[in-house]
């Protein structure tokens, strides 16, 4: 057999391996039929909590990425399951029961007192415990990325939001004041309150960078995984690069809003241009991640060679 024919057959075999279809869902359908009572319980667990997350978080600017992450994460699970289902073995019932007894009470308390941030994560924890009991640890370990990626659909706790956004808000506000004051603008401020000319602005959490950090982290990780299937070291490097990119983008957004307020008035800054500036800065942030990835290509190749010395 010629080398050309051999390469052609190998490519065709690879294409067959990479093809995914509804037939890959047949084992899942059989499992749901076999554990129908468990499936009903999982649906009763997921439905109310996911509705609460969607109604309280996904309708806000900070959580608008949630539906996109949910859809792409489910696709990733479907894609990876066809590759790892041969590893499925029932997990240790004792470990699953112990984990359930720890997570379930926290979920119930959070559900009763309506702490949606804790409720969402605990609901997800119960699903992972159930998955471990059904298919064991090896498939879950192989699907580590979709599991981690799915966490982005849940809102972070308010205490974390306050702890992270307050320094960002103050730092971005002060940097914008210093820059514009140095350029001769009539601007002053204290904390997150900015006064320019006759107008006052309050830098909110949406402008402080946390929503961009979360959304960009989710999109960046998805991009890294799909495009490169990179190892965790390179993924961590890109994650760290997201932080300065998001902060720079939000600093630019705050500058734009201050200048819009100064030249066009408060109504212009708080109306359509406010949302438009957010979308524009988010787009430039995503492009910034792509640029960082392109610049870090030599490092990615070096890490790949180190992981696969052969």
Q: Is 196 helix (H, G, I), strand (E, B) or coil?
A: strand
Which candidate in 253, 300, 302, 306 is catalytic?
253
Contact 153, 117 (CB under 8 A): no
Residue 94 CB coordination number (10 Å): 8
| Separation between Cα atoms, residue 215 and residue 82, nearest integer Å | 28
| Separation between Cα atoms, residue 148 and residue 144, nearest integer Å | 6
| Separation between Cα atoms, residue 157 and residue 162, nearest integer Å | 9
Task: Name the token pair of 224.
Answer: 């890294």
Which candidate in 207, 227, 233, 306 is catalytic?
207
Residue 201 CB coordination number (10 Å): 23
Provide the strand spans (E) within the chain.
187-190, 193-196, 199-202
Question: Does the annotation count 207 as an active-site position?
Answer: yes
Active site positions, annotated: 207, 253
């Amino acid at each position: 057999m010629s080398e050309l024919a051999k390469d052609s057959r190998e490519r065709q075999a690879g294409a067959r391996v990479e093809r995914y279809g509804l037939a890959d869902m047949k084992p899942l359908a059989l499992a749901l039929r076999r554990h129908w009572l468990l499936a009903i319980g999982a649906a009763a667990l997921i439905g109310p909590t996911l509705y609460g997350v969607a109604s309280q978080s996904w309708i806000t600017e900070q959580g608008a990425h949630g539906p996109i992450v949910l859809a792409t994460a489910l696709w990733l699970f479907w894609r990876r399951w066809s590759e790892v289902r041969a590893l499925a073995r029932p997990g240790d019932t004792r470990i699953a029961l112990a984990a359930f007894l720890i997570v379930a009470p926290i979920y119930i308390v959070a559900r009763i007192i309506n702490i949606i941030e804790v409720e969402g994560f605990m609901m997800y924890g119960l699903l992972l415990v159930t998955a471990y009991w059904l298919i064991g640890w090896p498939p879950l370990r192989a699907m580590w990325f979709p599991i981690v990626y799915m966490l982005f659909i849940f809102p972070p706790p308010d205490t974390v939001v306050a702890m992270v956004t307050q320094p960002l808000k103050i730092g971005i506000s002060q940097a914008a004041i210093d820059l514009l004051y140095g350029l001769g603008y009539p601007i002053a401020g204290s904390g997150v309150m900015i006064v320019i000319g006759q107008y006052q602005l309050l830098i909110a959490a949406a402008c402080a960078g946390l929503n961009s950090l979360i959304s960009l982290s989710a999109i960046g990780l998805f991009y890294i995984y799909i495009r490169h299937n990179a190892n965790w070291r390179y993924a961590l490097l890109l994650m760290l690069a997201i932080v300065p990119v998001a902060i720079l983008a939000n600093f630019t957004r705050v500058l734009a809003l201050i200048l819009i307020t100064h030249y066009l008035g408060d109504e212009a800054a708080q109306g359509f241009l406010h949302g438009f500036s957010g979308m524009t800065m988010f787009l430039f942030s995503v492009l910034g991640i792509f640029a960082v990835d392109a610049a870090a290509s030599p490092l990615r190749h070096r890490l790949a060679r180190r992981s696969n010395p052969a």
